[in-house]
Structure 1
Amino acid sequence: MISLSPPTICNSALQTVLPALWFADGPSRVEVSGGTDNPSAPPADFIRRVLEPLLAKIGIHQQTTLLRHGFYPAGGGVVATEVSPVASFNTLQLGERGNIVRMRGEVLLAGVPRHVAEREIAT
């Protein structure tokens, strides 16, 4: 496990080590503890929901699991990623933006009243 202190953003550590694991001789697993939700970076769910589907299109297969949230400034979150070595790369063309099919919001709370989430969703 990579344990970050002070609680650095888990995504930063993952983005540093994952490219090396894509080219490893066999499957790998890395676990990082630190901050998963920080106002100055995309949340850990970004890797799972946005980055990994795009990586899969070009031949990079990994699966990230958010084991525990870690909010700024305390940290304490844990993220694990399992990586398969890259067999071959595919091209990815992002030529045109498609229509919005659906939109969804999510608010995570840690030690604040529920009305704070309701206000966030309303705006």
Structure 2
Amino acid sequence: MANPFVHLELSTPDISTAKEFYGKLFNWTFEDNDMGDGVVYSTFKPESGPGGGIFSMPGIPVDWLPYVGVEDLNAATEKATSLGAKLVRGPQEVPGHGWFSVLIDPTGATIALWQANAA
């Protein structure tokens, strides 16, 4: 399938409870990554399918955000906005990994686009 879901991200004010719940429910393990300024991004990778991360940031609603893989982030972001999406954030680099943008589709759902760095 072209443009599969490649990453899922949970924003929550209670990372430890989320990690305990999903760890027990799905046997996920987590790796904590210090992002600076007191921000911890906990990643997980199930045996199959996309992995993801859990983080906490004031002002961000509690929600799951799906990321869809694209080959050209700028072109995909421009196409999405031309089709009625609202750009919320990006394109923005995740140093050493790739680029993303966050959009609200015409129905009000939030989705992210992801372009991984070339291997």
Q: Which bracket does the TM-score occupy, shorter chain normalised?
A: under 0.3
Larger radius of gyration: 1
Q: Which has the higher strand share?
A: 2
Q: Which has the higher helix share?
A: 1
TM-score w.r.t. structure 2 length? 0.27
TM-score w.r.t. structure 1 length? 0.27
